[in-house]
Amino acid sequence: MLKHNIWRTTTFRLTIAFGAVFAVGIVLLLGLVYLQTAGYLTRRVDHILVAELDAFSRSRPEALPQVLKQAASRDPLSTSGLFSATGELVAGDGRLTPADVPQDGVVREFRRSGGFAPQRALGERLPWGEILIVHRDSSQLVELRRIVLQALVWSGASITVLGLALAVLLSARPLERIRAMRGASEAIVAGDLAVRLPLDGSRDELDELARIVNAMMDEVERLITQARTVGEGVAHELRTPLTRLRATLDHATQGLAPGDPRNALLEACVAETDSVLARFRALLRIAAVEARSRRSGIERVSLGAIVEQVAELYAPLAVERDVALEVSIALVPDVRADAELMFEALSNLVDNALKFTPAGGTVRLSLIADVAGLVVVEVRDDGPGIPQDERPLVTKRFYRSRSTSVAPGHGLGLSLVAAVADLHGFALTIEDAEPGTVVRLACGVQV
């Protein structure tokens, strides 16, 4: 993972970018040195050739062969050839002939095979008809090009290797810190709000980012703890007096005559008290699940057995409401889960489906392996459905869809299912069944 991610780090990319800029600078510097040096040497050679040609052309015709011989002995790099008007060699070096060199007084570079060194030469026809060609060895220019090219190749290779090594070296430490931060972030996402991003005291940008995130997490933990404490405290504090109130109301009904009209009023009060107590029990249950207090109960369980238990529990209720409860259980592997919480979550899903499916409808409870190879529990009903804009909201506490708000309930069933799914790392999705709703709980176990 380190080798795979190091190429994507900002430090690595910046180091490579700076290395590339440095390499371009080296190329430009060497190129400029070469151009300036080669230009100077070329101009110097051309100046020598023009001066020699001018000096030779002023010599007497009968003395010119001897002059050429003496000049060649003084400077072996410069040689000359004297040719007749028809092109035959009269004196000097005949490697370059009038056919090779135009007689226009312009210096040119010539290359020939067979070990012939590169030459710069110019030719001119003398007043008495003979042709004079002056040339000079330009091997030093070729050697200069070779030296500069080698310097470019070796410096480029060195810069590339050193740049890559430095980029990897500089990127390894920040990447290790990022991996540590990612591990801490994953723990926070998993629900451990006490975890903080690690600091190394360098006070660099990663340290500053970690300090900001840690300060944010301190505030988030404080607010969540405060909200959770208040909610749980209210539920705990009110449950006891409400239980006593219910007992008092129940006792009051026993002291009245059977036909007393006050019986109906007291029974309604008892029912409302039971409803409030049910809400408090659901809130405390959701708080316990969200606090991750049930992770110790997670083990390998058979979802097929849980689905069968839920179907058996709700079969009489389905018959009472004239709703067909169809059950389909595929052969799937066991999953890691808390069996009691999974039973409670599936029970809530089936209970909701039966509640909102009209008489004569069908509720389908299925355990399948989907196309992605995951174990999925699916509950499909023929009810009024949930509008698309409300689907992200129905898992919030006390939220009830507009299409089902007249039905009895607390708006906490799907909140508990969502909390159980989040505890296990399962995916809860709500979709349109056309008609009705289909709720899927996808377990993260590959088949």
The answer to whether residue 406 scores a pLDDT higher than 60 is no
Domain assignment present for 175: no
Give domain status of residue 6, yes or no: no
In a domain, 102, yes or no: yes
How much is the pLDDT for 230? 59
Give the rounded percent of residues in the chain with a pLDDT score beyond 70.
Answer: 80
- Mean pLDDT for the stretch of residues 192-200: 82
What average pLDDT does the segment 300-322 reach? 87
In this structure, are 228 and 341 located in the same domain? no
Segment 376-398 shows an average pLDDT of 77
- Indicate whether 440 and 386 sit together in one domain: yes
Q: Which residue has the tokens 């389908």?
A: 364
The whole-model pTM stands at 0.46
Pick 367 or 117 by higher pLDDT. 367
pLDDT band with cut points at 50, 70 and 90 for residue 188: confident
- What confidence score (pLDDT) does residue 290 get? 57
Tokens of 145: 């090009």
Q: Are 112 and 19 found together in one domain?
A: yes
Of 260, 290, 320, the domain-final residue: 290
Give residue 160's pLDDT.
78
Residue 289 has pLDDT above 80, yes or no: no
Query: Among 363, 354, 356, 344, which residue's Cα sits nearest to residue 317?
Result: 354
pLDDT tens per residue across span 94-115 = 888 888 888 888 888 887 666 6
Q: What is the pLDDT of residue 268?
A: 76
- Do 284 and 302 fall within a single domain? no
Per-residue pLDDT tens digits for 420-430: 787 777 888 88
CATH number at residue 241: 1.10.287
Dump pLDDT digits (tens) for 252-268: 777 677 777 777 777 77
* Residue 97 lies in domain: 11-143
For residues 138 and 15, membership in a common domain is answered with yes
Q: What CATH number does the domain containing 374 carry?
A: 3.30.565.10
Q: Is the pLDDT of residue 201 over 70?
A: yes
Domain match, 35 and 133 both: yes
What integer best gives the mean pLDDT of the chain? Answer: 78
Clarify whether residues 63 and 127 are in a common domain.
yes
The CATH number for 27's domain is 3.30.450
Region 329-343: what's the mean pLDDT? 83
pLDDT band for 3, please (50, 70, 90 cuts). very low
Task: Average the pLDDT over 392-420 and give the result.
Answer: 65
Reply yes or no on whether the pLDDT at 222 is more than 60. yes
Convert the pLDDT of each residue in 15-60 to its tens digit.
Answer: 777 777 877 887 788 788 878 887 888 888 888 889 888 888 888 8
How many domains would you assign to the chain?
3
pLDDT tens digits along 209-220 = 888 988 888 888
Range among 78-82, 146-150, 295-299 with highest mean pLDDT value: 78-82
162, part of any domain = no
Is the residue at 172 inside a domain? no
Q: Is residue 341 part of a domain?
A: yes
- Residues 286 and 301 occupy one common structural domain: no
Q: 391 and 357: one domain? A: yes
Q: What's the whole-number mean pLDDT along residues 381-406?
A: 68
Residue 235's pLDDT is 59
128 and 257 assigned to the same domain: no
Q: Which of 157-166, 250-259, 324-333 has the lowest mean pLDDT?
A: 250-259
Of the residues 271, 290, 309, the one at which a domain ends: 290
Please check whether residues 285 and 301 belong to one and the same domain. Answer: no
20 within some domain: yes
Same domain, yes or no: 349 and 392: yes
Q: In which band, very low, low, confident or very high, does the pLDDT at 2 lie, cut at 50, 70 and 90?
A: very low
Split at pLDDT 50, 70, 90, the class of 446 is very low
Tell me the mean pLDDT in the region 354-382. 84
Band (pLDDT 50/70/90 cuts) for residue 142 is confident
Among 94, 111, 143, the domain-final residue is: 143
Q: Which residue has the higher pLDDT, 56 or 394?
A: 56
Residue 390 lies in a domain: yes
Three-state helix/strand/coil letters over the chain: CHHHHHCCCHHHHHHHHHHHHHHHHHHHHHHHHHHHHHHHHHHHHHHHHHHHHHHHHCCCCCCHHHHHHHHHHHCCCEEEEEECCCCCEEEECCCCCCCCCCCCCCCEEECCCCCCCCEEEEEEECCCCCEEEEEEECHHHHHHHHHHHHHHHHHHHHHHHHHHHHHHHHHHHHHHHHHHHHHHHHHHHCCCCCCCCCCCCCCCHHHHHHHHHHHHHHHHHHHHHHHHHHHHHHHHHHHHHHHHHHHHHHHHHHCCCCCCCHHHHHHHHHHHHHHHHHHHHHHHHHHHHHCCCCHHHCEEECHHHHHHHHHHHHHHHHHHCCCEEEEEECCCCCEEECHHHHHHHHHHHHHHHHHHCCCCCEEEEEEEECCCCEEEEEEECCCCCCCHHHCCCCCCCCCCCHHHCCCCCCCCHHHHHHHHHHHHCCEEEEEECCCCEEEEEEEEEEC
pLDDT at site 407? 56
